[in-house]
Structure 1
Amino acid sequence: MRGVGWDASHGEFLVEDYYYLSKLGKLLREKGIKVNQVEDFDELEEYDVIVFNYPEEEFEKKEVERIEKWLSEGKRIIFAAYYQDMDKTATNINKVLSELKIPLRINNDVVIDSKNNLGDEMFPLCKYNGYTVVMPCTSSLIVAGGNALVLSSGITKPKKRKNPIVGAMYKNGGELVVLGTCVFWDNYSLDLVDNKILAFDLLTGKRIK
């Protein structure tokens, strides 16, 4: 594996930010996984796993075309948003998904769970591949094709959809992963329940059922 390329060209939360995500970078290095913060979009092609974590800036047409090419080459592309389309991150991601004709979308909402949470209804405990993970401040997803990865037992606001999906994968040559929150692997959440397992599985390119 050629490691993880963490995009830094669209206003993202960055893996080298000591306050927010330094634990994640340390975890990967301890496991022998290379992770680099990449300022030049074109250089992302050097990596097998590519992360867009809270992209506040729109993607250009040529960038969407590159993402499509990387998927066709078998790479894993990860998009992570935040609740209620904060800073238009969901809008920016949904535009890419639409242009690529990938049947996943991020809703403009928030998932809450008054019963199954980690001390706050906006910290819903969710299920991932037999593990329990907390997905703070997450939007729900529309999954018209592909596989659900992370499931909540809560509801969405304002539309009160029950048992929403908050993480999904679509396979098209490579794998495109969409997550309703970008903070499940931050310095606060990474050590909670089984979040390290989810983060590690996503970023190592591990085959996910």
Structure 2
Amino acid sequence: MVKRIKIGWDISHMEFTIEDHYYFSVLKKSIREAGAVVRELDSLGDIANFDVLVINYPEKPFKKTEAKLVRDFLKSGKKVIVGGYYKNEDRIADHINSLSSHFGLLLNKDEVRDRFSNDEGDDLLIVTSRVLSYNDSVERVLLPCSASISILDSSARPIIYKEKSGSRRERVLGAESRIDGGRFLLLGTCVFWDNFAIKKYSNFRFSLNLLLD
């Protein structure tokens, strides 16, 4: 019998919830149709029985005790996916970095624009083909209102880059740390899988790859 993947969606830090029909009904339905389970989590103390933890736009910082819970979760070979946003809106970068800094990644307090590769001529609606991981059947993804990510140590690596342009500076839009057998992923935006973006480009496939691979 194939094990059903169990996804815990944290709401203990006032995140956007998977139960918000307006934003996430397509993703929620797709998860269930893929045979996985998704549940809201009122506390990170409840993550042990899940395979994947999602933290999507946390509006509260993380305590050191919570970072330890996440590390223990990773030690058991599991996965954490954190979605950020641009310009440190609602202090989102500060809150995420109170956790992600323990795992070699930082969400920058910037905004990434692309005049050449975007959706509908809006340079904040970034489109990129440079998806290095979780890219089965993925051609291009839409990453709206993204911040960039800094990699702090050798345990981490980029998984998404902005498209190449005239600038020599590489902009990392998604990164992953391998921690004690587990995977900690940080994405520069949390809205690539909402009901608007998930229907565009390869976002649907990429979202399921992140959660289920």
TM-score (norm 2): 0.88
Show structure 1 runs of 4+ deviating over 3 A: 160-163
Change (3 A) 1:110 1:154: farther
Equivalent in the alignment of 1:149: 159
Equivalent in the alignment of 1:196: 204
- Cα-to-partner distance string for 1:161-209 (whole Å, 9 max, x where unaligned): 83311001110120000000000000100010000111101111x1xxx
Asked if the contact 2:108/2:149 (under 8 Å) is kept, the reply is: yes
Equivalent in the alignment of 2:174: 167
Asked if the contact 2:48/2:73 (under 8 Å) is kept, the reply is: yes
Equivalent in the alignment of 1:177: 185
Asked if the contact 2:112/2:145 (under 8 Å) is kept, the reply is: yes
Equivalent in the alignment of 1:140: 148
Kindly report the root-mean-square deviation, in angstroms, between the aligned alpha carbons of the 2 structures: 1.6
Equivalent in the alignment of 2:115: 114
- The 3-state SS of whatever aligns with 2:125 is coil
Q: For 1:39, which of 42, 58, 64 is the aligned residue?
A: 42
- In the alignment, does 2:78 pair up with 1:75? yes
Change (3 A) 1:64 1:161: farther
- The 3-state SS of whatever aligns with 1:78 is strand
Gaps of 5+ in 2: none
TM-score (norm 1): 0.90
- In the alignment, does 2:34 pair up with 1:26? no
Q: Distance in 2 between matches of 1:162 and 1:37?
A: 39
Percent identical pairs in the alignment equals 34
- Matched length: 199
